[in-house]
Structure 1
Amino acid sequence: MPADSTIIVAGEERRNDILFQSLSERSKHEDFIRRAVDLLVERVVFGRASRSSKVVEWASPEAIKKAIDLKPKEGPATHEELLAFMADVARYSVNTAHPYFVNQLFSSVDPYGLVGQWLTDALNPSVYTFEVAPVFTLMEEEVLRQMRSIVGWTDGDGDGIFCPGGSIANGYAISCARYYFYPEIKSKGVYAVPKLVLFTSELAHYSTRKMAAFMGIGNDNCISVKADEFGKMDVIDLEKKINEAIENGSTPFMVTSTSGTTVFGAFDPIVPIANLCKKYNLWLHVDAAWGGGALMSKKHRHLLNGIEMADSITWNPHKLLAAPQQCSTFLTRHKRVLEEGHSSNAKYLFQKDKFYDTSYDTGDKHIQCGRRADVLKFWFMWKAKGTEGFEKHIDKLFDNANYFLEHIRQREGFRLVLQNPECTNIMFWYVPRCLRGCENDQDYNERLHKVAPKIKERMIKEGSMMVTYQPQGNLVNFFRIVFQNSALDHKDMVYFANEFERLGADITV
């Protein structure tokens, strides 16, 4: 398989002995940078966004290792070689900008977000003090305040931070909740507090359990609450588990509710959960990493009714709002808990005798020091589209999801997992001809379980689309198609159904 590097147009070559320098100099680097940008724009941004291109150029690990020289070398590469590496890396990477990449809770590459990300990288900031990141410290505060206002907190009051992913944001929630009730944890550690337990749905994102272990609370003390048939947290079981924990001598301190579960896209009932948290004096965190974008739509924000009752929220603009990876936020209505719980007052950064207002030095409330300016791409998108543009985007996603749902509901060979899913996740089984009419056979589920992996292999090797599958509880493997790209239309919905039918028509299990 020839590498893309074989069709790179040759340009002016540069001497190897200048490549060690870390400063961009026009005389030495302009030609290379312009050609690199041209390659990105033509090959990656526009060349890979066409429906006629492949979602992925499938290759085995061995083939990729053969096609791309992955090992760093003692001596420098030439500019020509570097451009060739760029082309090959792009070729063998999954084309997440492709309209038919619907495999994850992110897809597409927003043009305004992309330009914002390029500007971020060109400026190379680290956001901790106004001194070194004046625009970005102010920009973060304004964007986070506006997000808190959309949540429903008066005047956007509270606090917030941009995080390296929703998992870390959920970890911040645990840290803030624990500090809020037991501030001595900061100085004296876990030995100074009771045996703490928290609660989350059995269908919640695994990060809550993982962060509980990471922070010394332990997996066993992250108590799973039953979910109902629609994937929502069972509030009756939640109260039962809270009381059982108290009777066993544990100290409940927190509940994590989910607004948009990873697989089912379910929204836990926030209001009754919040009422229980008030009754038992528990911190309520809402993990709206996936579903938070629905807050931008007047038509769909009802899915998160009661979210203003939360103590903290995870909301990832890189998911439903389609900002480039990564763009995650943690929001809280408690103004001081982030700084008080995490500050260390490092004197080499956070001097109190600076010549400007040091309240703009926000970095001490983060557990990181060096931190990427993930705000710019989202801010740039918001400026470009306006809130009304985000609303139209969200409404289009839900419209596409509903169209696909109703389309496959009427087609032979498709069985829905949930008849009326809440978010833009649509879950279904594709039943090939060899299994139709065999529903009562003893081995039906065992055979159906094998269908999704076979179809997935075919779609990946052809590169025609990318859709994930998974089992869930006692449900055998089913497909989950996720609509997050507002450039898709109803014709694309029909394409997906037709493609499943084509790929699965002759499958035998």
Structure 2
Amino acid sequence: MFRRLVHQAQEIFAKRLRPTAAPQANGEHFQELNQSLDEESQRNDILDWSEFEGVFYSELLPKEGGSDKTTRFLLQLVYMLFDYVCKQSSRTNKVLDFHLPHQLLDMMDHCLHVDSEPRDLEQILSDCKETLRYCVRTGHPRFLNQLSSGLDVIGLAGEWLIATVNTNMFTYEVAPVFTLMESEVLERMRRIVGWENGDGIFSPGGAVSNLYGVLTARHYACPDIKEKGLLGMKQMVLFASEQSHFSICRAASILGIGTENLIRISCDYRGKMNVAELEAQVIAAEKAGKLPFFVNATVGTTILGAFDPLPEIADICERHKLWLHVDGAWGGSVLMSSKHRHLLNGICRANSFTWNPHKLLGVPLQCSAFLLREKGHLQSCNAMHADYLFQKDKNYDISYDTGDKAIQCGRHNDIFKFWLMWRAKGEKGFGVHIDRMFELGEYLRSLIKGREGFKFVLEKGECTNVCFWYVPPRLRDMPDGHEKNSELHKVASRIKARMLESGTLMVGYQPMGNLPNFFRVVISNPAVMPCDLDFLVNEIDRLGQLF
């Protein structure tokens, strides 16, 4: 029965799939995007799910005899997802069908609410279709809005398997294969960093990995805090650059250190930490009777993509006996490239390291690793010895029971998709991807350089971040100064609004310090081609002409 149903599904897929259109030049044509979206909507509207009318979830597995209906239901859902995956990278489709929140609430009013009565499976499939229609196509080659973008098919396959198995990562007995995979991958990652031993854990995102960094450093400096708390302790202080991620400041808040005790170190024009100022601030804190304990260095800052000078920062940490944590959530994956890994020279001297494969390596969200140079710190810091989970007399090596060294209890399986991608690509494949992203970054810089109306925030960036202003015609002859900056500050947000409304492109913007809003393009999406960057520059110019 199952094989017959699968064969039927394959025939349906073959009939419905169409070849992906070749890349089009800018403006060929915006109307085609609207037409494509309308046609897609019409195709989806004629899908026949009538066999599921009046059929409810209670008739699916694990109900005895429910395998046939379960198979048919899941095949319909798989077709829907398969169709979405195949079409989301087509340049004839929009990146998104944008509506303001109140508009989208009205449009989805018929299916958004949850209440006491169940809906049949026909409605459930319709709900899934409606949801996909209004999602942002993050795998679209013109989605350049976030550090994490693109859709890796191997990673997607891994995510599907993870959801099917649906297990917890806290003990070997419930996740035997996955705990071994996690141990193997973390060991390999540490060797790439340059550590022979050490420890690590996968966490729900770089912000939590950075929280692990501050928490572990605090425990290392003052282990009594775990049981006795902060009362009566010296005032602890930590250090991070002005360009560091906000999660370091949040960690100071969460852990009771206080955001005012995070000392921000200035950066040079490239976004790199001022090393001389760092040491001066450490000495000043020591003289004031405070307890410096932690320095955060960043490799791949969020906005400019800067890499802090690790050897010099490590020297200061060693002189003053400070814990060095390196936030490589964005730039850590550069270690996979033999051509660019020099940007992280000195990383082996860090005490801990955040590395997010879900960013530059393209692993599906979420996948973040917290790595440690030395073993034992995580267990000492976090262990609560819950004996209903972490019994000492189990019939296997309990070092594979990782839950007691995590700050979570339930922990999602984030390893399998990464492990599967690593098996499929190897470090060589990851390195090729990194090198290509850097080449695309350089290509975009070459487009912007000398292009009328475009001005770099930083012309020679270190990563794939490309930051620039678009200066509309009316401002180009205005003298530099407060008035021009005030007007320029409004431009990026207005272009972004039109960008969302048209659905042709997604690029982020932000201010930085006293600088007016500027665009930040981050390239990590493997679907991006040079023609997409040509389109980006032309489309921003087109949208900006009105301002």
- Bucket of the pairwise TM-score, normalised by the shorter protein: over 0.9
- Give matches, 1:299-338, under 5 Å: 299-338=339-378
1:12 aligns with 2:51: yes
Match of 1:83 in 2: 125
> What amino acid does structure 2 have at the position aligned with 1:35?
Q
- Mapped contact 2:60–2:67 kept (Cα < 8 A): no
> What amino acid does structure 2 have at the position aligned with 1:160?
G
- Mapped contact 1:8–1:84 kept (Cα < 8 A): no
Match of 1:236 in 2: 276
CA distance 1:193–1:358, change in 2 (3 Å): same
Alpha-carbon distance in 2 for matches of 1:137, 1:185? 30
- Mapped contact 1:184–1:192 kept (Cα < 8 A): no
Alpha-carbon distance in 2 for matches of 1:18, 1:208? 44
Alpha-carbon distance in 1 for matches of 2:192, 2:232? 38
Paired residue for 2:146, among 91, 98, 104?
Answer: 104
Match of 2:137 in 1: 95
Secondary structure of 1:499's match? helix
Match of 1:54 in 2: 94
- Give matches, 1:250-269, under 5 Å: 250-269=290-309
Shift of 1:192: 5.4
- Mapped contact 2:307–2:343 kept (Cα < 8 A): yes
Secondary structure of 1:200's match? strand
Shift of 1:363: 1.2
Alpha-carbon distance in 1 for matches of 2:57, 2:141? 41
Match of 2:80 in 1: 39
CA distance 1:92–1:276, change in 2 (3 Å): same
Shift of 1:171: 0.5
Match of 2:69 in 1: 28
Shift of 1:47: 1.7
Shift of 1:67: 2.3
Match of 1:214 in 2: 254
Match of 2:216 in 1: 176
- Give matches, 1:290-301, under 5 Å: 290-301=330-341
Alpha-carbon distance in 1 for matches of 2:311, 2:91? 43
Alpha-carbon distance in 1 for matches of 2:449, 2:56? 64
- Mapped contact 1:12–1:31 kept (Cα < 8 A): no
- Mapped contact 1:19–1:76 kept (Cα < 8 A): no
Shift of 1:437: 1.7
Match of 1:118 in 2: 160
CA distance 1:49–1:9, change in 2 (3 Å): farther
- Mapped contact 2:56–2:121 kept (Cα < 8 A): no
Q: Which runs of 4+ in 1 moved over 6 A?
A: 1-5
Match of 2:433 in 1: 393
1:489 aligns with 2:529: yes
What's the CA shift string for 1:181-218, capped at 9, x where partnerless? 22112111112532111000011000000011011111
Aligned length: 504
- Mapped contact 1:16–1:76 kept (Cα < 8 A): no
- Mapped contact 1:196–1:251 kept (Cα < 8 A): yes
Match of 1:73 in 2: 115
Shift of 1:439: 3.1
Secondary structure of 2:97's match? coil
Match of 1:194 in 2: 234
Percent identity among equivalent residues?
47
Secondary structure of 2:314's match? helix
Alpha-carbon distance in 2 for matches of 1:15, 1:421? 58
- Mapped contact 1:235–1:273 kept (Cα < 8 A): yes
1:135 aligns with 2:174: no
Shift of 1:419: 1.5
Secondary structure of 1:75's match? coil
Bigger mean CA deviation after superposition, 119-128 or 72-81: 72-81
Give unmatched runs, 5+ long, in structure 2. 1-36
TM superposition score normalised by structure 1: 0.96
Secondary structure of 1:468's match? strand
Bigger mean CA deviation after superposition, 459-468 or 58-67: 58-67
Alpha-carbon distance in 2 for matches of 1:7, 1:140? 44
Alpha-carbon distance in 2 for matches of 1:20, 1:193? 60
Alpha-carbon distance in 2 for matches of 1:446, 1:167? 33
CA distance 1:21–1:83, change in 2 (3 Å): closer
Match of 2:21 in 1: none
- Mapped contact 1:255–1:277 kept (Cα < 8 A): yes
> What amino acid does structure 2 have at the position aligned with 1:480?
R
Alpha-carbon distance in 2 for matches of 1:20, 1:217? 53
Shift of 1:505: 1.8
Match of 1:153 in 2: 195
Alpha-carbon distance in 1 for matches of 2:147, 2:441? 14
Alpha-carbon distance in 2 for matches of 1:354, 1:381? 32
- Mapped contact 2:330–2:355 kept (Cα < 8 A): yes
- Mapped contact 1:98–1:108 kept (Cα < 8 A): yes
Match of 1:452 in 2: 492
1:368 aligns with 2:403: no
What's the CA shift string for 1:153-176, capped at 9, x where partnerless? 12xx10000000100100001111
Shift of 1:473: 0.5
> What amino acid does structure 2 have at the position aligned with 1:58?
F
> What amino acid does structure 2 have at the position aligned with 1:270?
L
